[in-house]
Amino acid sequence: MPSDTITDLDQLITKVRTYNPEADVDLVCRAYAFSAKAHEGQTRRSGEPYLQHPLAVAGVLTSLRSDVPAIVAGLLHDTLEDTLTTPEVLEQEFGKDIARLVDGVTKIGKIQFRNHEEKQAENFRKMVLSMADDIRVILVKLADRLHNMRTLEHLHEAKRLQIAQETLEIYAPLANRLGIGWIKNELEDLCLKYLKPDVYAALKLRVAKRDEDRQQYIEEVVRIVKQALAEADLKGEVQGRPKHLYGIYQKMERQSISFEEVYDLTAIRIITDTKMNCYALLGLIHSLWRPVPGRFKDYIAIPKSNLYQSLHTTVVGPKGEHVEFQIRTEEMHRLAEYGIAAHWKYKERGQVDDKDGKVFSWLRQFVEWHQDLTDNRQFMDSVKLDLFHDVVYVFTPKGMVKEMPLGSTPVDFAYAIHTEVGDRCVGAKVNGKIVPLRHQLTSGDAVEILTSPTQVPHKDWLKFARTPRAKAKIKHWLKVEEQKRSLEIGRRLLEREFRKHDMAPAQMLKSEQLLGVAHELGFETVDEMSVAVGYGRLSTGQVMTRLAPAVPQEGKAEVVEELHPSRPQVGKPDEKGVKVKGGRDLLMQLSRCCNPVPGDRIMGYITRGRGLTIHSVGCPNLEALDYDKERLIEVDWDMATSSTYPVKVSVLAVDKTGVLANVSSAISGAEANISRAEITTREDRKAVLDFVVEVGNTAHLGRVLKAIEGVEGVITARRIRAWQAR
């Protein structure tokens, strides 16, 4: 198949015109001039002007009978990566469509393929496809790779091996998937040449030698076939077949057989006009020579997954030697060589006509995991590749590729790696930049999860977690935590009640008496009963009545008050850094509505269901609780502890790239951790950056705010409490 390299503009134009007489030649010329200017002064390793490369790539694309935008993209494909050209300039000069194609090719070129497991190679192929929203992006990339492989000898050895390996594992299979037989074969042979030079050289020599010996024999077979065709008045062009060295090598390796056994076949191809005549020709061949049982394959009735069609048969030819025949129509031959590109028909203005119902159907096999894609028409509507509209492929720091549902966030990714990582994640770096946990990942992203040993899953994560696994893990953690918390609260409430009645709490909890009460109330254990008390499903009064009927009970019904929901803090209650006056030992948590920090004036409130909640003085939630003054207790910060406390900080900044990263680093520079970050873009080109920052006290918070306000582009930075209007 085509292996001639295009070396100047005239050749290129001539070739485009052979299959697309209406092509917008002017556009091609402009792209050539643009590329020439952009790459001016650059040379390739071989020493030739760089421009030869994009020109050759465009040439390969004409061999695929590509449309003008694809050829133009071929000419421009390296301008974004290797020159000062920007996507904006390309769009201005050549329009959105072409700018998008070039951008797509550039993005794929940036992916680093580092993992050589077979499954990873498959994921990587999917990633490449998912990043290309247009099939032409893949075609340009394949053309690029083909020319790079053709000129690989100019690179130093390590680079050669790396590129050849990547080509063999990723790009040759992609060409195969798209049904472009000649590119796949040429890529594979070139890979063999660089990866196994000895094998390649030996094979090449043996094939040449064998063909020489065989020449007469082949001519004899061809003569007999041609004569039979003429006698039967059947049309058909008889040809020998190009040698695919890698195919021979693969057969020898896989089946552990010798070169002679693999290459003992004389291979002949007959191309005819109609499908009917394919079968007629088959009958003719079988009447001339005896077919070898088990070697007949009808790929016309049952095409391969990439839509390849042909009849294959092997017969015992003259002198008892095996001859393999491939019989196909002109159209089937075109399909076998050009694959997906064979379906492109050219309308007047060089538009791609893809109404052909079969165009992308071979890709069905390729997306077999994609079970819900029942309506093929979905992706036939345009040349756009929508195959992966609901998955993204992202890199782990070790270079593994993970498939995630579309819309997945760093939280999903973290749980996909390990539950521990998920439970502890505080943020992520995507392509080296810090992003908030709710950030949506896109294909090709390199994702690194940031964890903190003090982090725990948040209920809010459920709002943006996308994978069932992450959701289940978060829910599980919350449930277990709630259970633990309820047990602790229940115990403490019971203990308090025991103390009130002059009973020794520790002994009571272990007593047979209390176990008896638990059984009476339908619980297996005292702990189970305590959990019910903690949840508020059972009141301490109900327990006390059964325990000591004689003891007078307080009149009030035990109702669990629903305070503003507070999230659990990490660590034991006594690690909160809060001292309760009078030394009462209660389950404590810092209220989330006001997020108090050491330095703030605080009050404690004893809830029935959740122990002691610490609020800032001034918090409206606390004021609303005023009716029950006896539950308010004075508390104070224990300045000796070195815990950190979450504070909400809101930053107003100009909407500019890099601001989030700079603010983030200012925060870390002030020795505070970010546990959450969120960006909202406003219409007035300003951005609001909301953070939850972990600080030691109000003085520390002051330093953090000052550091943020020092970042260029930041307008204000302030602490936010739930009750304060923005």
Cα 271 to the center of its chain, rounded Å: 43
- Is 82 in the active site? yes
Strand partners, 680: 688
From the CB of 355, what's the least distance to Mn ion, in Å? 32
Please answer whether residues 604 and 616 qualify as being in contact, where contact means their C-beta atoms are separated by less than 8 angstroms.
no
> Smaller CB distance to Mn ion: residue 109 or 713?
109
From the CB of 90, what's the least distance to Mn ion, in Å? 15
694 near Mn ion (CB under 5 A): no
> Smaller CB distance to Mn ion: residue 75 or 414?
75
Query: How many Å apart are CA 216 and CA 462, to the nearest integer?
Result: 74
> Smaller CB distance to Mn ion: residue 109 or 541?
109
Site for Mn ion in 110-169 (CB under 5 A): 144
From the CB of 57, what's the least distance to Mn ion, in Å? 6
Segment interacting with Mn ion, rule: CB under 5 A, options 73-81, 331-339, 362-370, 579-587: 73-81
Query: How many Å apart are CA 229 and CA 231, to the nearest integer?
Result: 5
Cα 721 to the center of its chain, rounded Å: 37
> Smaller CB distance to Mn ion: residue 141 or 402?
141
- Render 329-368 in DSSP notation, one character per residue: EHHHHHHHHHGGGGG-EE-TTS-EE---TTTTTTHHHHTT
* Token pair for 484: 């633990």
Segment interacting with Mn ion, rule: CB under 5 A, options 76-84, 406-414, 426-434, 458-466: 76-84
x-marked contacts with Mn ion along 372-411 as a string, rule CB under 5 A: ----------------------------------------
Please answer whether residues 34 and 51 qualify as being in contact, where contact means their C-beta atoms are separated by less than 8 angstroms.
no
Phi and psi, residue 612, nearest 5° = -95, 130
> Smaller CB distance to Mn ion: residue 70 or 503?
70
> Smaller CB distance to Mn ion: residue 130 or 148?
148
From the CB of 92, what's the least distance to Mn ion, in Å? 22
Query: How many Å apart are CA 220 and CA 480, to the nearest integer?
Result: 81
The closest residue (CB) to Mn ion is 144
78 near Mn ion (CB under 5 A): yes
From the CB of 53, what's the least distance to Mn ion, in Å? 6
* Token pair for 249: 């090598």
> Smaller CB distance to Mn ion: residue 70 or 714?
70
Phi and psi, residue 217, nearest 5° = -60, -45
Query: Given CA atoms 325, 223, 337, 79 in this order, what sign does their dihedral have?
Result: positive
From the CB of 320, what's the least distance to Mn ion, in Å? 51
From the CB of 77, what's the least distance to Mn ion, in Å? 6
> Smaller CB distance to Mn ion: residue 144 or 495?
144
- Is 375 in the active site? no
From the CB of 326, what's the least distance to Mn ion, in Å? 34
Of 40, 48, 81, 634, which one is the catalytic site residue? 81
Strand partners, 508: none
Please answer whether residues 264 and 201 qualify as being in contact, where contact means their C-beta atoms are separated by less than 8 angstroms.
no
Per-residue H/E/C for 410-454? HHHHHHHHCHHHHHCEEEEEECCEEECCCCCCCCCCEEEEEECCC
Please answer whether residues 168 and 188 qualify as being in contact, where contact means their C-beta atoms are separated by less than 8 angstroms.
yes
> What single-letter amino acid sits at 401?
V
Query: How many Å apart are CA 566 and CA 65, to the nearest integer?
Result: 65
From the CB of 384, what's the least distance to Mn ion, in Å? 23
495 near Mn ion (CB under 5 A): no
Give the chain's radius of gyration (CA, Å): 36
Please answer whether residues 216 and 36 qualify as being in contact, where contact means their C-beta atoms are separated by less than 8 angstroms.
no
x-marked contacts with Mn ion along 270-309 as a string, rule CB under 5 A: ----------------------------------------
From the CB of 78, what's the least distance to Mn ion, in Å? 5
Which residues, in sequence order, are CB contacts of 635 under 8 Å at separation 6+? 578, 579, 580, 581, 602, 603, 604, 612, 614
Query: How many Å apart are CA 15 and CA 66, to the nearest integer?
Result: 11
From the CB of 167, what's the least distance to Mn ion, in Å? 13
Coil/strand/helix, residue 519? helix
Please answer whether residues 673 and 684 qualify as being in contact, where contact means their C-beta atoms are separated by less than 8 angstroms.
no
- The footprint of Mn ion on this chain (CB under 5 A) covers a number of residues equal to 2
Number of Cβ atoms within 10 Å of the Cβ of 70: 27
Per-residue H/E/C for 26-92? HHHHHHHHHHHHHCCCCECCCCCECCHHHHHHHHHHHHCCCCHHHHHHHHHCCHHHHCCCCHHHHHH
| Among 672, 618, 627, 677, residue whose Cα is nearest residue 650 | 677
> Smaller CB distance to Mn ion: residue 142 or 653?
142
> Smaller CB distance to Mn ion: residue 77 or 466?
77
> Smaller CB distance to Mn ion: residue 151 or 454?
151
Of 24, 82, 321, 386, which one is the catalytic site residue? 82
Number of Cβ atoms within 10 Å of the Cβ of 189: 21
Q: Report the catalytic residues.
A: 81-82
Binding interface with Mn ion (CB under 5 A) = 78, 144
